[in-house]
Structure 1
Amino acid sequence: MQYAYAELSLQQVHVLRKAQDDLIFSKSVYLEFYSKMAKHAYTTDLNNLIRGDFQRVDVQLNIPKLPPQNKEPEEYTPMLNLDKLMELYDAAEEGISLLQD
């Protein structure tokens, strides 16, 4: 059983050869089609990623502006001088003593 073709008739060999040719042709068409489709799919994905990155860079954030507040600004005086702080402390102490009397 070294050669399977030895037991086949000439007509069977021709039919088998045609089937082998069809199989080889189908494989080559499939491989060609697959490589084209894979290249197209990967190229499309890559282009979409690149375009997406550029579109993200071009997008400006639309932050709504806050409505104007009609509050008058409060006066803020920093208490960096210890003398002023001591004056306020003394005044508070005097006020407390007056309230307690």
Structure 2
Amino acid sequence: LGVVLHGTYYVVSHFHYVLRIGAVFGIFCGINLWWTFLTGFIYDKIFMSMVFLVVFVGANLTFFLYILLVCMVFLVNMLIIPIFTLFGMLFLLMVLC
């Protein structure tokens, strides 16, 4: 199964779901917990529930489309758009000069 899915959008979606979303929710939980210990200020539960729902739904809507592309091959050269490479070269010339 690993050989079949290697280099596909499934790997990209799994990476984003596990690492990115997990890290964001971990940071939010850590800030919420330690901020109350350090300052004594407690966030409103309704507000924090709304923030959680917005971030949860937004992250899942963003990365769910990758799961629909499970067996589609992910090619790095699909990310290279000629107009961006032109701007990148111009930016590099401005920085070096």
TM-score (norm 1): 0.28
Q: Which has the larger radius of gyration?
A: 1
* More helix, by proportion: 2
TM-score (norm 2): 0.29
